[in-house]
Amino acid sequence: MSAAQDTADRILDAAKTLFAERGYAATTTRAIAEAAGVNEVTLFRRFENKLGILKALGERLALRQAGHAAAAVPDSENVRDTLLRLARMEIEGTIEDGGFAIRMAFDAKSVPEVAALLGEGIPSNLEGLGEYMAEHQATGELRDDIDAKVMAEAFFGLTSSYVMYRMVMGVGDLPADVAADKGIEQLFDVFWSGAANAKERQ
């Protein structure tokens, strides 16, 4: 990793933590720079302003979102295995970024910049996964009597609520290893039993 990338990552990590703790509006670029161990000039040179940091955080989050990752999945890959992998990825990302995401969801009601970012990211994530679902409905692997977007919403209801319920309500422990957690796979199988075409469930 280059020194410039390391500096950028430290700025983004600091901003994510402060945005989660204080909210977007109450977090200053000076506070972010201090937490990252850089001066404000470095921060401005890299991201221009606080909105630039917020956008970069949104781009970084998108890398771990199922709807964006689904576009790169090879056609030959097993649908169930792919969706389970995407579910685990989405859950892992939500565990890591959940505090930030929850705070931004609240901030979106009063901060236009945050509302605009969420308004771009969430629909594109849903649309991307919906397109993947539709492609595999056309091949007969997924049920075609359910709207692809509804199927994608059910998927996100599974992954996001798994983490958020535990974070917000304090119910149940979050898995130490998402990739090996059997509870996640069992929860996914509830989704799969409703989404897969009958022959795929056999």
User: Within 10 Å of residue 131's Cβ, how many Cβ atoms?
Assistant: 15
CA distance 106 to 88: 25
Residue 173 DSSP symbol? P
User: How does pLDDT run across 16-60, given as a tens digit for each residue?
Assistant: 999 999 999 999 999 999 999 999 999 999 999 999 999 999 888
- Predicted confidence band of residue 200 (pLDDT cuts 50, 70, 90): low
CA distance 60 to 107: 19
40: nearest Cα among 76, 73, 15: 15
Percentage of the chain exceeding pLDDT 70: 96
CB 133 within 8 A of CB 50: no
- Mean per-residue pLDDT for 186-196? 92
CA distance 159 to 185: 11
